[in-house]
């Protein structure tokens, strides 16, 4: 997953801060949306061992490498949320760390937002890190260190044991109230309990999504993010009237690799190969060779289900759109859709 801007603490902090300010907005009362900084902290151990790994590093490395970007987001950019990491640091799970959570985040940096666990991470307290004997103790441990919210599923939901933790005297209701207040404060700041007309960001229409100005801004960002390190004999840019161009590599014509994960879906994807073919002149032959396989010797190709669907002899699928989630009454729109992935905002009555 693409969950960091890279290894440079300064660059990560600057890019992350810009993202926070852009997403959260500038209104003095309301957030546009809230941003969550993750994974706090020292989250760079072996990926397969992250649920049980105990990171032990020097204080110099902690402050020089792992914390600067978080400090930029919390202190300067005022990020609304922080996600504590799966791993342990100095013998304590990060979501229950005296140093990371209490001493640094809440006291030194005076963090005023909310903290959430990574998904199923609190289960690690007692199942993998073995720092707590059971779910109730783990739940109390996390709350007392300032983890307000648990991301979890099913039987791994450790905060289901908070009632037991209170009954056993492991945590007080007043300490739970502190977390509840922080969580509801964020919801109020998102305008969830105010009239829609009172919340400025609720007035943004869906029509701005992929609008021409936004596409132009995205194109400018992409162009200005490219760094050309070497250009012997001014080979680039290539002439459009070259006789033949060879494009090599398994990622050159694979749409899926452009998306990564935790991603949205643009209405149109252009692979490097397609972009080159669109740019060259009509007399230029573009030859594509995959060249090598991926490590698994399998090239992932997304299944285009839309190409396999038909309704009454027409390609695509038959769609009916209703007003509201109950799907009651006559549909407000009925039409044949060519693809499955598109914005509902594009539906015309």
Is there a single domain that holds both residue 161 and residue 263? no
Which of 288, 215, 210, 219 has its CA nearest to residue 254? Answer: 288
What backbone phi and psi angles, to 5 degrees, belong to 321? -115, 135
Is there a single domain that holds both residue 90 and residue 159? yes
d(CA 296, CA 312) in angstroms, rounded, equals 41
We report the CATH number of the domain holding residue 118 as: 3.20.20.300
In a domain, 294, yes or no: no
The whole domain housing 283 covers 206-289
d(CA 159, CA 70) in angstroms, rounded, equals 26
Residue 251: burial class (beta carbons within 10 Å; 0-12, 13-18, 19+): middle
Q: What pLDDT score does 349 carry? A: 46
Where does a domain end: 289, 321, 337? 289
Higher pLDDT, 254 or 69: 69
Is there a single domain that holds both residue 53 and residue 158? yes
- What domain count does the chain have? 3
Q: What pLDDT score does 302 carry? A: 54
Is the pLDDT confidence value at 135 over 50? yes
Give the range among 72-81, 302-311, 337-346 with minimum mean pLDDT. Answer: 337-346
What does 238-306 look like in DSSP terms, one character per residue? PPTT-SEEEEESTTTT-SGGGT-SS----S----HHHHHHHHS-TT-EEEEE--S--TTS-------GG
Is there a single domain that holds both residue 175 and residue 280? no
Which of 70, 73, 72 has its CA nearest to residue 84? Answer: 70
List helix spans (H) across the chain. Answer: 9-24, 59-61, 68-71, 123-127, 135-144, 162-167, 173-189, 212-225, 272-279
Residue 38: burial class (beta carbons within 10 Å; 0-12, 13-18, 19+): middle
**Residues above pLDDT 90, as percent of the chain:** 70
* Active-site position among 61, 72, 118, 341: 118
Is there a single domain that holds both residue 216 and residue 195? no
What backbone phi and psi angles, to 5 degrees, belong to 164? -60, -40
Task: Record the tokens describing residue 100, joined without a space.
Answer: 């990371």
Q: Is 64 a catalytic residue?
A: no
What backbone phi and psi angles, to 5 degrees, belong to 291? 85, -65
Q: What pLDDT score does 340 carry? A: 64
């Amino acid at each position: 997953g693409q969950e960091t801007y890279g290894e440079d603490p300064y660059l990560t902090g600057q890019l992350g801060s810009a993202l926070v300010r852009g997403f959260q907005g500038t209104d003095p009362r309301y957030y546009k949306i809230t941003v969550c900084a993750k994974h706090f902290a020292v989250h760079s151990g072996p990926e397969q061992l992250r649920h049980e790994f105990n990171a032990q590093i020097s204080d110099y490395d902690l402050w020089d490498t792992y914390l600067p970007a978080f400090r930029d987001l919390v202190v300067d950019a005022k990020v609304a949320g922080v996600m504590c990491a799966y791993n342990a640091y100095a013998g304590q799970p990060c979501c229950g760390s005296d140093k990371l959570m209490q001493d640094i985040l809440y006291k030194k940096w005076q963090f005023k937002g909310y903290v959430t666990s990574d998904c199923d991470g609190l289960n690690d307290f007692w199942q993998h890190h073995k720092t707590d004997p059971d779910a109730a103790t783990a739940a109390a441990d996390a709350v007392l260190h300032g983890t307000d919210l648990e991301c979890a599923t099913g039987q791994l939901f450790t905060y289901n044991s908070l009632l037991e933790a209170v009954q056993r005297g492991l945590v007080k209701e007043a300490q739970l109230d502190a977390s509840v207040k922080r969580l509801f404060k964020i919801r109020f700041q998102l305008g969830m309990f105010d009239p829609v007309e009172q919340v400025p960001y609720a007035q943004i229409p869906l029509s701005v999504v992929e609008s021409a100005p936004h596409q132009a801004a995205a194109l400018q960002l992409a162009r200005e993010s490219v760094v050309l390190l070497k250009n012997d004999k001014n080979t680039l840019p290539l002439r459009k009237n070259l006789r033949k161009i060879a494009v090599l590599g398994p990622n050159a014509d694979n749409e899926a690799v452009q998306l990564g994960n935790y991603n949205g879906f643009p209405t149109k994807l252009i692979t490097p190969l397609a972009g080159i073919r669109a740019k060259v002149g009509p007399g230029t032959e573009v030859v594509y060779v995959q060249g090598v396989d991926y490590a698994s010797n399998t090239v992932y190709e997304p299944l285009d289900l839309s190409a396999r669907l038909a309704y009454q002899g027409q390609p695509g699928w038959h769609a009916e759109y209703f007003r509201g989630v109950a799907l009651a009454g006559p549909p407000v729109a009925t039409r044949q859709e060519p693809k499955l992935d598109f914005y509902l905002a594009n539906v015309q009555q």
